[in-house]
Amino acid sequence: MLLAKGMLIIKGILLAGEALAREPLQQPQAKFIDMFSLIPPHVGANGREDFFDFFNEYVNKTRSRRDCTQLGYKAADSFAAIVSKNKFMPREYEITFDFSISNVSKGGKGAGFGFWISDQVINEPRFYGRNQNFSGFGAVIDIENSPYIKFVDSANTRKSGIPIKYSAEDSYKLVFTRRAGTLTIKFLHNAKEHILYTGAAKVPRESYLAVTSYSGASTCTLVLERIITNSFPSSGKKMPAKGERGGRSVYIVILGVAAILSLAYYLYQKKPKEFDLRK
């Protein structure tokens, strides 16, 4: 009887431990970084933005149907750029670009748009609106022929592109996430998520956040609605894979030992006391 009660105690403790281990690991709290975010209105009353520089052929729209910045004019060989004024310092981060594209047609070699974390951008009418020799990485929308999006970096890594099903009314989302040394780039369109790249990505110490455009032979433009950047505390540790319990499994071991000790103490307390009748 005593043993049965003791086993019930152990079972209860172990069930509690398993429930704790199944709980998701608490994620570090994200911190919004305004110096790397571009939210409406994109410019103040003086026509300037505190944290980004605008170059060449762009249009800031602040009183239209929606606040946005149009990169490029609706003309051939138009080019423009937005570049952060501050060096990009976060080690672990998530950057979300919300945008749309218009007037899509074949632009020829180097035509398209780029989203970058790299050394200083020189806005030029070639290679998606920037200097081709750079250090860092980016995601580019290529409009040489039919539009598609791909990952590029200074190590000449060129991942297979994902075709873009273009519609004049569509909006797109691009997300850069770097956690525990791993970069993941996702492209979202019509509620579908595509992984452009997952792996390592090196950037120089003096890097900047930028968006560039070059229309080539087309009249295509990029309409940038917002950039949202959040940082995370740098853990320096590998994140547990999805489904792993990580460090929580140690709790089961600890609770198992505690259960055995509790059972031993319980049985000791319930043991009949012996009396010396000779006294």
Report pLDDT digits (tens) over 142-174: 999 999 999 999 876 666 789 998 877 789 999
Q: Give dist(CA 132, CA 251) in Å, integer.
A: 52
CATH number, domain of 220, equals: 2.60.120.200
Domain ranges, residue 99: 33-231
pLDDT digits (tens, 9 = 90+) for 198-241: 998 888 889 999 999 999 999 999 999 999 999 988 765 544 44
C-alpha pair distances (Å), 248 with each of 55, 67, 236, 238, 243: 50, 46, 18, 15, 12
- Name the band, by pLDDT with cuts 50, 70 and 90, for residue 64: low
Q: At residue 18, what are phi and psi to the nearest 5 degrees?
A: -65, -40
If asked whether residues 14 and 41 sit together in one domain, one would say no
Residue 84 within any structural domain of the chain: yes
Given this model, what pLDDT does residue 67 score?
84
How many structural domains are present in the chain? Answer: 2
Question: Contact at 8 Å (CB) between 183 and 198?
Answer: yes
- How many CB atoms within 10 Å of residue 200? 12
The span from the CA of 241 to the CA of 5, in Å, is: 38
For residues 21 and 136, membership in a common domain is answered with: no
**First and final CA of the chain: distance in angstroms?**
32
Residues 201 and 261 in one domain: no
* Distance, CA of 239 to CA of 261 (rounded, Å): 33
Asked if 178 and 257 sit in the same domain, the reply is no
Considering the entire predicted model, what is its pTM? 0.74
Same domain, 91 and 116: yes
Q: Both 65 and 147 in a single domain?
A: yes
Is 167 part of any domain? yes
Report the mean per-residue pLDDT for the chain: 81
